[in-house]
Amino acid sequence: MKSPTQQTLDEGAQIVRGDQAGTPFNVAFVGGGEACHNLLRILDRERLSRLKMKILGVADTNQQAPGLIYAKKLNLFTSSDFRDLYTLKELNFIFELTGSTDVREAIRKTKPPEISLIGHKGARLLFDLVQIEIEKTDLDKKGQEQYVTEKKHIQTILNSLPYNLLVVNQDMTVNMVNKTFRKNKKLNHEDTLQRNCYEVRYGLDKPCAEYGRTCYLEEVKKNREIISTIHEFVTDNGETRFEVITVSPIFDEHGEVIQLLEVSRDVTDRIKLEREVQKSNIFFQNVIQSTVDGIVVVDTKGNVLIFNEGMENLTGYSAREIMEIGHLSSFYNIDVAKENMRKMRSDQHGPLGKLNPTSMSVISKTGEEIPVTLSASIITIDGKETGSVGVFTDMREVLRMRKDLEEAHLQLVQSEKIASVGRMAAGVAHEINNPLAGIMIYAELLKEALKDDEKNLSDIQEVVDQTLRCKRIVAELLEFSRQTVGKVSFFNLEDMIEKTLNILINQALFQNIEVTKHMEQDIPEMAGDMGQLQQVFTNLFINAADAMEGRGRLSIKTRYDTEINQFVVLVSDTGSGIPKELRGKIFDIFFTTKPVGKGTGLGLSICRKIVELHGGNLMVECPPEGGSTFIVELPLGFVEKPEEESLFI
């Protein structure tokens, strides 16, 4: 164990033993234990006078500390907070007697610059000074030896530091350097003393400022404040290096800067590593932000840490909004989140700690429920869960495509069914018509023979009516089976609609129906099979009348779209409309909403087929206020639409 004289002296001890030997020694003690108590008892007024020392106060958190109690008896300033000592007038030294590193460090950080700090080890110096006074000249010699020893010891400590240490005088000459500095600069002790700092530090022949360099020593000398910075420089062999340089002023007892202390250390490896990490982070962020899918990283409490651009596009929230809200529950059902975490902690839904793609939904800023597929993983550091990351894939387009494919498949299947019915109808229609013709002939003969028999005549008439109904169904089937447009001619659309209405308008079904027409004038003639198109509009007009049960308003509007060269006909009624769940079925073959015996379910199917063969479209809309509107779109330049081959035979 080293003797007290071999222990480290704090800055205050050096100053008192040196240039400040003639300055009043105004001290305060931090720590009111036995050491403080002994000092107060030994240092009576006479000894304090000879030592030019004045004890101003004592601080200790323990109000029962013996030194604190004794100080109160001496009418000295006492406090439980050492910071209160800073207010004592002319205080220039604080002795830390607690032996606590934390206390000593707290004092060092908070004390005013004009107050010097002596640690509990350095407080041994005070005991030495008292002993010197007691032992007179003998102890004076020992004190001098102690000073030299301590100075050497301090130099030894400074030499052992792994940092370059440089003390510069006011005239910018070097006062001292440590061994590490000399080793790194490849200098001897004699090469550094009383030489200019720029010569020793950088090997320059004139001050740094004259070379356009920043002189940190001059800045600290001027501003009287500590500077800490990273200095980049190029070595003689062209290598770029980095140093952390800290320059601090050294003040005398009057608060004047007397010297400058520069401490530096090479941090090239650390800076290069930090820059590599920064590059990796930037690359990582770019990857996350450029990913189309949404990526979210949260901590274990659900606070959002990363919210990429893909997630912004998916939910409508900006990353800033989510960060301010701070929680995934803003867009993610918290119960679902907990369930997914449970799944990740098991091995039933993927590898342990991971979640295989799972269907779920997130809530957008507008409240829309968006279907997504979630893949997730728990983030662990040193075996401890720190958060989780989720990748959200928008499934709206996929589901839409899947729905379109399903609808296309159904349409193809339906087309095949219709084609099969058409082929069947074409094959058997003539066979059915022959016996129906025979039935009609003999029924008419029976009517003629029994014209006076009213009882049986009504039965014969029913046979005729039902036979005619069968012929009509067969005729519709034959019409449905036709694969091409018949005779193509040019005609006026308004004239064709007028002719169709004239056929129907005098029928009983239309007697209580108001017909309104809004026909655009001066539109070009259209090309097509006029007979087939008359059949389309006849069917639409009759369906409208049936929907209104013979009472209401039938509205017919025509116009011509010059931009796309297309005729548009709107046929509207004031009926009850078509239920939403049935609108997708009304064009299916054999589907009808009419009572049994009144409709065959072929009318709208045939109408759509005729319109499509003319290169057009037949659609239906049902306004909220009621009624139905059938929209017929027909092109100006008719080109017969080829029949598509069936893919599923």
Per-residue confidence band for 60, with pLDDT thresholds at 50, 70 and 90: very high
Q: Is the pLDDT of residue 1 over 80?
A: no
Question: Across residues 593-615, what is the average pLDDT?
Answer: 69
- As a 3-state breakdown, the chain gives helix, strand, coil percent values, each rounded to 5, of 45, 25, 30
b/e burial code for range 204-213 (CB count within 10 A of at least 16 → b): eeebbeeeee
Predicted pLDDT of residue 437? 80
CA dist., res. 264 & res. 240, Å (int):
16
More confident residue, 88 or 14: 88
Contact 586, 606 (CB under 8 A): no
CA dist., res. 162 & res. 180, Å (int):
6
Per-residue confidence band for 11, with pLDDT thresholds at 50, 70 and 90: very low
Please give the single-letter amino acid code of residue 378.
I
Contact 45, 160 (CB under 8 A): no
Domains of the chain: 4-159 (3.40.50), 162-271 (3.30.450.20), 291-390 (3.30.450.20), 399-481 (1.10.287), 489-635 (3.30.565.10)
Question: Across residues 232-245, what is the average pLDDT?
Answer: 82
Contact 305, 276 (CB under 8 A): no
Q: Is the pLDDT of residue 597 over 50?
A: no
Q: Is the pLDDT of residue 77 over 90?
A: yes
Predicted pLDDT of residue 238? 82
Per-residue confidence band for 556, with pLDDT thresholds at 50, 70 and 90: very high
More confident residue, 414 or 79: 79
Q: What is the CA radius of gyration of the chain?
A: 52
Rounded to the nearest 10 degrees, what angle do helices 493-504 and 530-547 cross at? Answer: 50
Question: Across residues 489-507, what is the average pLDDT?
Answer: 84
Strands (E), 509-644: 513-519, 526-528, 552-561, 566-573, 617-621, 628-635
More confident residue, 477 or 157: 157
Q: How crowded is residue 338: how many other Cβ atoms within 10 Å of its Cβ?
A: 11
H-run or E-run covering 262 = strand 257-266
Q: Is the pLDDT of residue 412 over 70?
A: no
Report how far apart, in Å, the C-alpha atoms of 23 and of each of 28, 142, 248, 411, 475 are.
16, 22, 24, 106, 130
Predicted pLDDT of residue 648? 29
Predicted pLDDT of residue 527? 86
Residue 118 pairs with which residues in a beta bridge?
95
CA nearest to 629, candidates 578, 562, 559: 578
Mean pLDDT, the chain, whole residue set: 80
pLDDT in tens, 120-169: 777 777 677 666 666 664 556 676 778 778 878 877 887 777 888 888 88
pLDDT in tens, 346-381: 888 778 888 888 888 888 888 888 899 888 898 888
Predicted pLDDT of residue 135? 66
Report how far apart, in Å, the C-alpha atoms of 141 and of each of 20, 42, 136 are.
19, 21, 9
Name the CA dihedral angle for 493, 498, 499, 504, rounded to a multiple of 10 degrees: 130
Predicted pLDDT of residue 136? 63
Predicted pLDDT of residue 158? 76
Predicted pLDDT of residue 207? 86
Q: What is the DSSP letter of 60?
A: -
The tokens for 533 are 């198109």
Encode 237-257 in three state secondary structure. Answer: CCCEEEEEEEEEEEECCCCCE
Predicted pLDDT of residue 187? 83
Q: Of all residues in the chain, what percent carry a pLDDT higher than 70?
A: 83
The tokens for 221 are 């000398």
CA-angle at 86, arms to 84 and 92, nearest 5°: 145
First to last CA, the chain: 103
Question: Across residues 203-232, what is the average pLDDT?
Answer: 84
The tokens for 271 are 């800076």
Q: How crowded is residue 222: how many other Cβ atoms within 10 Å of its Cβ?
A: 11
Q: Is the pLDDT of residue 6 over 50?
A: no
Name the range with the highest mean pLDDT among 150-164, 326-340, 435-449, 511-525. Answer: 511-525
H-run or E-run covering 298 = strand 294-299
Alpha helical stretches, state H, 23-123: 34-42, 45-50, 66-73, 101-110
Q: What is the DSSP letter of 196?
A: B
CA dist., res. 421 & res. 480, Å (int):
9
CA dist., res. 149 & res. 125, Å (int):
12
